[in-house]
């Protein structure tokens, strides 16, 4: 349904408490909200393998094990000549976009979404992600209220959540 790919600058900030600025706070908050979105929708958070290797030394063994359990570590581009973190993330996004929608959480959207038209891949800054998450939560809470009035609508849960994601993050409106 949804893949969320945090980039290096997001993951470095999340794992290094010495980085402190307004931008770092929004990166941490965005990653926290990505986890919330994962718990609500079943989205996958995918961490590129080289990024995971770069942040691993900052993690204690329990945190590392937890990250390996909670997130998919994608080693597709690891040790492939000519593949940088950026090219690997672009490749991962294109591959996953064949079946699912992909959000690339980055401070540099133009680096990862270089004008190639694909409505199933969105590069989004932490600030924009937080704004869209606020909107998603409002819609989701409305859906929860609707469920209380119409319990039979539970059968449509996955379809409704997918429509909320497509509308909020990808600008795709379905009937």
Concatenate the DSSP letters of all residues of 52-81 into one string. Answer: HHHHGGGS-HHHHHHHHHHSEEE-TTTT-T
Alpha-carbon distance 171 to 175, whole Å?
13
pTM of model > 0.85:
yes
| Residue 93 banded pLDDT, cuts 50, 70, 90 | very high
* DSSP assignments along 17-46, one per residue: TT--SHHHHHHHHHHHHHHHHHHHH-PEEE
Per-residue confidence (pLDDT) for residue 152, from 0 to 100: 77
Residue ranges of domains in the chain, CATH in brackets: 2-125 (3.40.50.1010)
Per-residue confidence (pLDDT) for residue 175, from 0 to 100: 63
Per-residue confidence (pLDDT) for residue 6, from 0 to 100: 98
């Amino acid at each position: 349904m949804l893949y969320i790919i945090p980039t290096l600058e997001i993951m470095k900030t999340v794992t290094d408490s010495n980085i402190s600025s307004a931008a770092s706070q929004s990166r941490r908050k965005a990653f926290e909200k990505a986890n919330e979105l994962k718990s609500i929708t079943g989205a996958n958070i995918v961490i590129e393998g080289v990024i995971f290797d770069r942040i691993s030394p900052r993690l204690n063994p329990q945190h590392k094990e937890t990250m390996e359990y909670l997130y998919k570590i994608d080693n597709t581009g690891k040790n492939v000549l000519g593949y940088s973190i950026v090219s690997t993330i672009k490749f991962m996004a294109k591959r996953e976009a064949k079946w699912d929608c992909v959000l690339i959480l980055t401070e540099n959207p133009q680096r990862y979404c270089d004008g190639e038209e694909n409505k199933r891949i969105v590069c989004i800054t932490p600030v924009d992600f937080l704004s869209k998450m606020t909107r998603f939560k409002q819609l989701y809470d409305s859906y929860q209220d609707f469920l209380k009035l119409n319990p039979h609508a539970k059968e449509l849960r996955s379809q409704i959540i997918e429509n909320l994601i497509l509308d909020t993050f990808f600008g795709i409106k379905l009937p």
